[in-house]
Amino acid sequence: MTKTILERLDAGEILLCDGAMGTFLQAKGLEPGTCPELWSVDRAADVQDIHRAYREAGSDIVECNSFGGTRYKLGHYDLSVRAAELNRAAAAIAREVAGTDQYVLGSAGPTGEFMAPLGLEPEEAFYRAFAEQVSAFEEGGADAVIVESMSALEEATVAVRAARENTELTVFATMTFDPQMHGGYATIMGVTPAQAATELVDAGAHIIGTNCGTGADQMINVVREMRTAAPEHPIIAMPNAGMPELENGETVFKETPEQMAGKAIELVRAGATVIGGCCGTGPEHIAAMKAAITTM
């Protein structure tokens, strides 16, 4: 790759990330209660098939199968001691598919724990867990890391610090917002888009934004708020394929690729410079979004 992500964004390009991972792992046989991150070692070819489908759809960035890869999350499967191995493998198999013309993005999701004083875990323990994960991404060949789906600023900012202080990776940071009863948006911990933008920039995130939680219709408003709070900073937006609906006991997302493509344009107009998809999105959605953005 001759240019970095930030160089391309600085030049005015709009970059496209990929879509959901978990949905497709389940389609390939991932059983409830089993560890998705283990597939990066035990069923690497299946994970690479998913990466390859998104590559063929036109994504510029391939996101690793590592969302629950902290030692905290892996502890639910008695795999904490394999945290470095599994995250390194996730980045390495993505790198094989990405080659030299796609960027590899390590995914670091929430630990599922609360930091003291709300919980029992000290900040230093969170820092060490994220440092272990992001260092493994870099060792595996990643170009960047996305600290994603965060609701607490304390956890998000310590993860950003761990990435900035222990690696040379480009650092994305996103939080998940929901509409509030009396207007506006906030995470489940009460963080507003403007607060998130300010704090994530101050923590050192190169690229800030939002993922999951809502479809693009609501996310457009969130992006506008973040753009106002951080007028010069790159923003990533990764909406779900519409709002979730319950059908026959299963959660489904019904927004079509064509619908998401139109809304991708609106997200860019609202201020997003990297676009991708979260729950319910697949290669067809990414291909349609790519075509739409290319014609802007």
Distance in angstroms (rounded) separating the CA atoms of residues 127 and 135: 12
> pLDDT tens across 169-225, in order?
999 999 999 999 999 999 999 999 999 999 999 999 999 999 998 889 999 999 999
- The residue ranges of every structural domain in the chain are 5-294
Is the pLDDT score of 250 beyond 90?
no
Amino acid identity, position 5:
I
Q: How far is CA 265 from CA 220, 274, 275, in A?
A: 10, 11, 9
CATH 3.20.20.330 fits 5-294, yes or no: yes
Range list of β-strands (E), 199-272: 207-215, 235-240, 245-247, 250-252
Q: Is 58 left (phi over 0), alpha (psi -120 to 50) or beta?
A: left
Residue range 234-260: mean pLDDT, rounded: 88
> pLDDT tens across 125-172, in order?
999 999 999 999 999 999 999 999 999 999 999 999 999 999 999 999
According to DSSP, the residues that pair with 147 across neighbouring strands are 108, 173
Q: For residue 263, name the pLDDT band (cuts at 50, 70, 90).
A: very high
Give just the sign of the alpha carbon dihedral 167, 172, 176, 182. Answer: positive
> pLDDT tens across 37-94, in order?
999 999 999 999 999 999 999 999 999 999 999 999 999 999 999 999 999 999 999 9
